[in-house]
Structure 1
């Protein structure tokens, strides 16, 4: 069984999540549910759960303060939030799992499946997320957290040359010739990075536009990146690429 604790100051939200878990995730045992954040801290200390479903905005202690109070205890974390679009991107840039209220059943099932793969939040992820929340006027972070099978690694956006699809994974190619294989699809990465200076130019490639060295048009159009790597440009994406640069 996966032992879970729910911490949320809204009693209805706590009850509904517990009900959804019992109905759709019978392998999860809710060992404590708390509407008081101080009691939530004590429950984590007492039960050493496998996963905590945690609200962020709560009276007394917010979600980050709860986590700081139990920093020595390892568990998987799923934020449960009614936050806006900015906050959701902050979670995604930090590779932190979240559920948006009202909770979708399928998303809950998927979150539990990720928890069962023993994905534990690291201190660097939490700090990265806190920095984004403390500066909501900054539209984008300078780094992105890339989840892999054994944890999370952080890379600077400016160092990413291009991303390459590898089935349900994505390979990140960096300017120092390093490679990282992230456990997210290229579509998920595209949704996150195309608001930055990135563009999907081919079904297999998402490129950092600031690293383009040359664009060769015609049949079989392609791009030469700053590391001399050539990237094909699909016919459907050629116009989007030219439009982004205002090329004639």
Structure 2
């Protein structure tokens, strides 16, 4: 795969190029740019299959660059410094990302995904814009998550589906996968652990009630207490509540 690196920090560019040359022989690095304008020109001329793109760059940030590209017919891996809301935004939109400093194992796995997955869906990028704080805006530092329209991208076997978060009734762990149950009766299995899902949804009216289950509190109809405490959800499903989660659940939502 022909690849480009676009990042305004020269040291980051050099290190990523070195890691790709050493550990990703399937990647042909055809350009390295610290100027986003030059990077944009290179995309248009060289037509890469893979672009490693920093978001926060001067003059023209990563989002502005992608707007000028037009149709995006290449795979994008966003490269960013750690920020909890930025990472949540990537996960909501099911986009590939790498955190600086880049871990070699993560890099290898990301490149392998790029070989087998479809190009970016424009809706994924739109979700990313909604969840990612504006460049230069201290949303993460202020501790306030960015506003959203309440949708999430679920990567599954045949692609990516976009669903309204409030239509998700509950999530169930299945080894290293998670199954999403929707109020329409649809189910989607995604290649994320329930722990990964919890990081994304715990601020959106979801609560982990059991090692195997996370539920949307808006779909809880009844809490049945006793030795085997469980929830009855809007679709009639009974979900067990772990003993250590019962008091936390009742306290959080003001139940008496």
Tell me, yes or no, whether TM beats 0.5. Answer: yes
Q: Residues 168-196 of structure 1: CA distance to partner in whole angstroms, max 9, x if unpaired? A: 22221112222222222212101211222
Change (3 A) 1:131 1:199: closer
Residue of 166, 171, 185 corresponding to 2:174: 166
The equivalent of 2:24 in structure 1 is 25
Do the aligned residues in 1 keep the contact of 2:231 with 2:238 (CA within 8 Å)?
Answer: yes
CA–CA distance in 2 between the matches of 1:187 and 1:82?
Answer: 22
2:60 aligned with 1:52 = no
CA–CA distance in 2 between the matches of 1:177 and 1:234?
Answer: 25
Q: Residues 199-219 of structure 1: CA distance to partner in whole angstroms, max 9, x if unpaired? A: 122222110112111111122
Deviation of 1:134 (Å)? 5.8
Do the aligned residues in 1 keep the contact of 2:94 with 2:155 (CA within 8 Å)?
Answer: yes
SS at structure 2 position matched to 1:116: helix
Count, aligned residues? 247
Do the aligned residues in 2 keep the contact of 1:48 with 1:73 (CA within 8 Å)?
Answer: no
Deviation of 1:138 (Å)? 5.5
The equivalent of 2:15 in structure 1 is 16
Unaligned runs of 5+ in 1: none
The equivalent of 1:117 in structure 2 is 116
Task: Quote the RMSD (CA, aligned, Å).
Answer: 2.0
Q: After the TM superposition, which of the residue ranges 14-23 and 79-88 deviates more from structure 2? A: 79-88
- Given the two structures, how large is their TM-score scaled by the length of structure 2? 0.88
Residue of 184, 195, 212 corresponding to 1:176: 184
CA–CA distance in 2 between the matches of 1:144 and 1:138?
Answer: 15
CA–CA distance in 2 between the matches of 1:187 and 1:84?
Answer: 18
SS at structure 1 position matched to 2:101: coil
Change (3 A) 1:164 1:53: same
The equivalent of 1:190 in structure 2 is 198
CA–CA distance in 1 between the matches of 2:245 and 2:145?
Answer: 30
